[in-house]
Structure 1
Amino acid sequence: MSPENAAENESAAGHSSPVGGPPAARRRAWIGLAAFASALLIVLVVALVWRVGEGFPRAVDATGTANGTGSGTGTGTGTGTGTGTGTATVPPTPTKTPGATESPATVTPTQAPTANPEPGQSATAAPGQAAAPGVPRPATCTQLYTPEMIHALGDLTLNPEWSQDQDNGVAHGTDDSELRAQIDALDHLTCVWASPYGGSDTGIITNVVWVTPEQSAAVEARLVAKGLECFNQSEGRRCVIQTNTVDGAFGESHFLRNGIWLATKYTNAGPLGYTQNIIDNLWMGV
């Protein structure tokens, strides 16, 4: 039996064809059934994917930040918008990236303030920088006196503010112009005991001057030439002079020892043992 006559023989035997009509119509019917079955299959697959994946994956924007999640994993490249069935994790983009020329901020240290020197001291250098090894270096005038001597000076004030003006004439422990020039040229500490209210006829001026042996010898020679009496005292040389008038007593006392010259001028003041008190305090630990 040839294939071309199979359908007719089946009809003759009493079997009916599933679809009646001419052959062309039957072919169109089969094509329609196939299309319907394909569509149904697609719907079933979509429904299955939807159920398992809890919805279709959402689009991923151009920066790589995922807008949806899925149960699987997926990768992709490109600068456009893409889709996938997985979860994408993208690190956050910095809000500001320093430029190539940007430098970190710098902090300029603030210079430490210089402590105010005691009246009579230099603001730029501590006194005694020229002292030889082993020579006392008092940094302040208060180191020269014991509390008992300070008490004996009564109402006089140490280095009152007005006395710091060089024009007031209370900067030197001598009246001799040559010795004054020596004091100004050498490393020294000046201590003034005077009235806190201004100049008066009562006060004491002492310069602690650091000298070399040659300078010390020259100072003593000048003192002798000016009529001061010199003698040995406390391992050094002491030179003194005093004048008494109806207005009171005034004079000078100088002491030279081991690189130090104590030049003191006084007017109606000077407790007993003033110079010796300074000597004892300066060389106490030497």
Structure 2
Amino acid sequence: MGAATLPTGSPSRRPLWFALGAVGVLLVVALIVVLVVWRGGAGTPGGSAAEETRPTPTTSAEPLAVASATPSPSTPAGPHPTTCDAIYSPTMLATLTQTGALNPDWTESDSSGVLFGTSDAELSSLIDGAEHLTCVWADPNGGSGSGLTSNVVFVTAEQSETAHQRLLALGENCYEELGGIRCVVETAQGEEGIAGESHFLRDGIWLATRYVNAGPDGYTLDMVGTIWAGA
């Protein structure tokens, strides 16, 4: 018998062709799915995830608050006495109580005329418009021919300079003393005695004192030494 001849299209190669054909079909299907997802956003009405999370500008956005480049004036940090007892040494306080009373009731009236440590209207207005402490030493029974008023005025650097320039314009004698500016003036009143003013400007505080036939020696210097004790 002659050698057998294998028929065309050997059965041993058919599974390979079937496998290749199946892979081809899968690739086509996958390509179609990719095209659908890419063009249609995977069938979601809002489009792709990237599009859903992308921020969109609004027309009602409020502007951010920006700090002012020029700070508002403020009183410099420093001593801040809140009572008249705190501005005198015990010795000076004892001396003052021997000849007068501190802030008697009658002095609290606007018409008393003793609320400001100066007779100048412009300086009085500056004191009245700033935070201040008023310490009046006077006869407890009413107005008399002697007494004194001191204002402890808390001022900004600009207000302090305004007061200084006004004191110079009024002809008061101003000079440096104890780390600040001292200004003084005294006028004779004939038989009625003497009157005067003493001012001290330092570190956001203005000590304004007006006196008539009153005021022990070293009065202003005692206030400075007490308020700035240890400075």
Q: Do they superpose with TM above 0.5? A: yes
CA distance in 1 between partners of 2:127 and 2:121 (Å): 10
- Find the counterpart in structure 2 of residue 278 from structure 1: 223
Which ranges of structure 1 fall in alignment gaps of 5 or more residues? 1-129
After TM superposition, the structure 1 = structure 2 runs for residues 180-259 of structure 1, keeping only pairs within 5 Å, are 180-244=124-188, 245-259=190-204
The more displaced of 268-277 and 149-158 is 149-158
Whether the 8 Å contact between 1:193 and 1:204 is mirrored in structure 2 is yes
CA distance in 1 between partners of 2:99 and 2:183 (Å): 28
Aligned residues: 156
After TM superposition, the structure 1 = structure 2 runs for residues 57-136 of structure 1, keeping only pairs within 5 Å, are 131-133=75-77, 135-136=78-79
1:266 aligned to which of 207, 211, 215:
211
TM-score by length of 2: 0.65
Whether the 8 Å contact between 1:174 and 1:264 is mirrored in structure 2 is yes
- Find the counterpart in structure 2 of residue 152 from structure 1: 95
CA distance in 2 between partners of 1:145 and 1:173 (Å): 16
Whether the 8 Å contact between 2:75 and 2:157 is mirrored in structure 1 is no
2:86 aligned to which of 123, 139, 143:
143
Whether the 8 Å contact between 1:131 and 1:137 is mirrored in structure 2 is no
Stretches of 4+ aligned residues off by more than 4 angstroms = none
CA distance in 1 between partners of 2:138 and 2:153 (Å): 20
AA aligned to 1:278 is: M
CA distance in 1 between partners of 2:118 and 2:222 (Å): 19
Secondary structure at the aligned position of 1:190 is classed as strand
CA distance in 1 between partners of 2:75 and 2:80 (Å): 7
Flag the structure with larger Rg: 1
Whether the 8 Å contact between 1:206 and 1:264 is mirrored in structure 2 is yes
After TM superposition, give the deviation of residue 147 of structure 1 in Å: 1.9
AA aligned to 1:272 is: D
Whether the 8 Å contact between 1:236 and 1:257 is mirrored in structure 2 is yes
Structure 1 vs Structure 2: percent identity of aligned residues?
48
- 1:92-129 Cα deviation digits (max 9, x unpaired): xxxxxxxxxxxxxxxxxxxxxxxxxxxxxxxxxxxxxx
Whether the 8 Å contact between 2:174 and 2:183 is mirrored in structure 1 is yes
The answer to whether structure 1 residue 172 and structure 2 residue 172 are counterparts is no
After TM superposition, give the deviation of residue 219 of structure 1 in Å: 0.6
AA aligned to 1:258 is: D
Whether the 8 Å contact between 1:158 and 1:192 is mirrored in structure 2 is yes
CA distance in 1 between partners of 2:84 and 2:122 (Å): 24
AA aligned to 1:279 is: V
CA distance in 2 between partners of 1:216 and 1:274 (Å): 21
Q: More helix per residue: 1 or 2?
A: 2
Whether the 8 Å contact between 1:238 and 1:253 is mirrored in structure 2 is yes
Which ranges of structure 2 fall in alignment gaps of 5 or more residues? 1-73
After TM superposition, give the deviation of residue 151 of structure 1 in Å: 2.3
Whether the 8 Å contact between 2:151 and 2:207 is mirrored in structure 1 is yes
Secondary structure at the aligned position of 1:254 is classed as strand
- 1:223-255 Cα deviation digits (max 9, x unpaired): 011010001110000000001222101000000
